[in-house]
Amino acid sequence: MNLEQLTNKVNELSTRVGTFIRNENSQLSEKNVEKKGKHDFVTYVDKTSEEMLVEGLEKILPDAGFITEEDTSNKAGTTYRWIIDPLDGTTNFIHGITPYAISIALQRDEKTIFGLVHELGQNEFFYAYEQGGAFLNEKKIRASKANSLDSSLIATGFPYYDYTRLDDFQKTLEYFMRNSRGVRRLGSAATDLAYVACGRFDGFYEYSLSPWDVAAGAFIVQEAGGKVCDFKGENNFIFGKEIIAANTGIYKDFLEVIKKNM
């Protein structure tokens, strides 16, 4: 498989789907918004864009299976599988604010070998393929060189349905507010991870996430020279519903704060 050629094809597909998503944004109204759960929203745009992605990705790699947020395909692949979020940041989208993003990862034998995060607000393509490095709009990117929490900008996501760890989470917020340059919450985990990869953020952490939220972005961080783990410092960050991503300079201290409090 030529991963560079595959990257170009997936980027072209994401361009088409992204154009559809942005065009529909101006026509969206509350009557188009459905609830999947408490504060968990979906629109026809999510569903239609996922169908478009599945159809296009099947043409690129016919034998691959899928893990999709909106369950438009449950096809199982023997070697390859795509992990797709057609619109990460739906709440932002329905309120007319950015960021929101398309997130696509490809795994071979359960190991990620390709990731794309297409942030639609600024039309930025963050992508990486195995042993090829990480890129933003065709320019190579690296995680930041910040070497202390005090000189770092931290990103996170606020829980919106699982409040069982809220008290511990608030302890981490207080620590980072007091001991970093600040904490940001954008509303799109895929974008947060992409921003760690290109050095805009120095670290990111969140819990109650799904594979489609993190698979692509986590891989891009790794290819950009950053480190990714779960809250225990282990590798169950795609399916374990918790993730830490950081540059190498703050990774150890960042992880210790999360371990101590979460």
Contact status, residue 54 vs residue 125, Cβ threshold 8 Å: no
Provide CATH 3.30.540.10 ranges for the chain. Answer: 3-140
Please name the helix (run of DSSP H) or strand (run of DSSP E) that holds residue 224, with its range, or none.
Answer: none
25 Rama sector, left if φ>0, alpha if ψ -120 to 50, beta otherwise: alpha
Quick one: which of 1, 10, 2, 9 has its CA closest to 216? 10
Region 173-194 average pLDDT:
98
Domain with CATH 3.40.190.80 in the chain: 149-261
SS3 104: strand
Do 189 and 95 meet the contact criterion of CB atoms below 8 Å apart?
Answer: no
For the stretch 190-228, pLDDT in tens is 999 999 999 999 999 999 999 999 999 999 999 999 999
% the chain with pLDDT above 70: 94
What is the Cα–Cα distance from 33 to 41, expressed in whole angstroms?
7
Question: Cα 48 from chain centroid?
Answer: 20
Confidence at residue 74, expressed as pLDDT on a 0 to 100 scale: 83
Domain 149-261: state its class: alpha beta
What kind of fold does domain 3-140 have according to CATH? Fructose-1,6-Bisphosphatase; Chain A, domain 1 (3.30.540)
Q: Where are the beta strands (DSSP E) in the chain?
A: 33-37, 40-43, 65-68, 80-88, 101-108, 111-119, 124-129, 133-136, 139-140, 153-156, 182-184, 203-207, 227-229, 242-246
Give yes or no for a contact between 53 and 19, defined as CB atoms under 8 angstroms apart: no
* pLDDT tens digit sequence for 53-85: 999 999 999 999 999 988 888 888 889 999 999
Report residue 39's pLDDT band, with 50, 70 and 90 as the boundaries: very low
Question: What pLDDT is stored for residue 171 in this prediction?
Answer: 97
Residue 2's identity, in one-letter code, is N
Q: pLDDT at residue 92 above 50?
A: yes
Q: What's the pLDDT at 35?
A: 56
**What are the backbone angles phi and psi of residue 85, rounded to the nearest 5°?**
-120, 110
Residue carrying structure tokens 């990117």: 141
